[in-house]
Amino acid sequence: MAIHLEKQIESVIGHFKRGSRIVILTGAGISAESGIPTFRGKDGLWEKYDPNEVATAEALRLRPKNVWEMHDALRQTINSCEPNPAHFAIAELEKFLKNIVIITQNVDNKHQDAGSTSVLELHGNAWRVKCTVENKSWIDRTVPIKELPPRCSCGAILRPDVVFFGEQLDKDVLDEAYTEAARAEIMLVIGTSCVVTPAAYLPIIAKQSDAILIEINLEPSPIYSLFDASLCGKAGMIMPKLVKRLREKFE
Ligand code: OAD
């Protein structure tokens, strides 16, 4: 590990106190090392797909098969990938520092698969499907889905229970995320480009409440000036080291 990063980790550890309220905001970058593509940048999903064609309510209404083909492909990728050391490090952190909430923009369930329990999913979950008429939702882990688009027993088309472009986030989940961000004493922002709102407001809210903000990303995000520390590198390399040092400090 570069000496610089090692020093940065040591100075970051200094901010943590026993009982600190910690919020961890994650994005697609935390799952990149699992093999799940991010959205932006080279090889990002939005390079391969036009979100207007596959991730809007209108696209689902006009071209449900297209929308489901993309989503089914994503579900197959997610199904074939395991949580990585960053997910496991966060799950371990939750075990020995109790005051932790994970707010994720990811729909891949990898935090829960790694053992995390306190997870707010801002953008839904790829394993949940929802009836477009009855609005009821349930988990369906079938991969691949046998017939696209899948239908509810009532005959209506199902949708993935994820947030499409132009849609509101679940109000209860978002309110809870805002509350947690405002109460945070430390916020770790991991693997997100911080360009999609309202998720990108959360570090701002935390900062306004005097939280210490720490970013872990391949490169500093556009809101880097907000952060007290930016640790540049792979989350799967940095998070286990950070958690190891926190365990040494608190156990
Ligand atoms: P992005 O694809 O916009 O950003 C991923 C970020 O992760 C980038 O800043 C990368 O530099 C960083 N990154 C990549 N690999 C990494 C690694 N191994 N370790 C650490 N960082 C890494 O993904 P999000 O910010 O999550 O919304 O995107 C936000 C939302 O935009 C998504 O939830 C999705 C998308 O449209 C919906 O679908 C509603």
77-122: pLDDT as tens digits: 999 999 999 999 999 999 999 899 999 999 999 999 999 999 999 9
Q: Is 15 a catalytic residue?
A: no
70 lines ligand 1 (CB under 6 A): no
230 lines ligand 1 (CB under 6 A): no
Give alpha helix (H) positions in the chain: 3-13, 29-32, 45-48, 51-54, 57-62, 64-80, 85-96, 110-114, 171-183, 201-208, 235-250
234 lines ligand 1 (CB under 6 A): yes
How big is the chain by its Cα radius of gyration, in Å? Answer: 19
217 lines ligand 1 (CB under 6 A): yes
From the list 104, 107, 105, the residue with the least C-alpha distance to 70 is: 107
What the chain holds in terms of domains, given with CATH numbers, is: 2-35+83-123+169-250 (3.40.50.1220)
19-45: pLDDT as tens digits: 999 999 999 999 999 999 999 988 899
Q: Which atom of ligand 1 is nearest to the CA of 41?
A: 2
Pairwise CA distance, residues 248 & 251, whole Å: 6
Query: Ligand 1: which of 217, 223, 238 to mutate, most ligand atoms within 8 Å of CB?
Result: 217
**Residue identifier of the C-alpha nearest atom 36 of ligand 1:** 39
Pairwise CA distance, residues 194 & 122, whole Å: 14
pTM more than 0.75: yes
- Cα(190) to ligand 1 centroid in Å equals 9
114-153: pLDDT as tens digits: 999 999 999 999 999 999 999 999 999 999 999 999 999 9
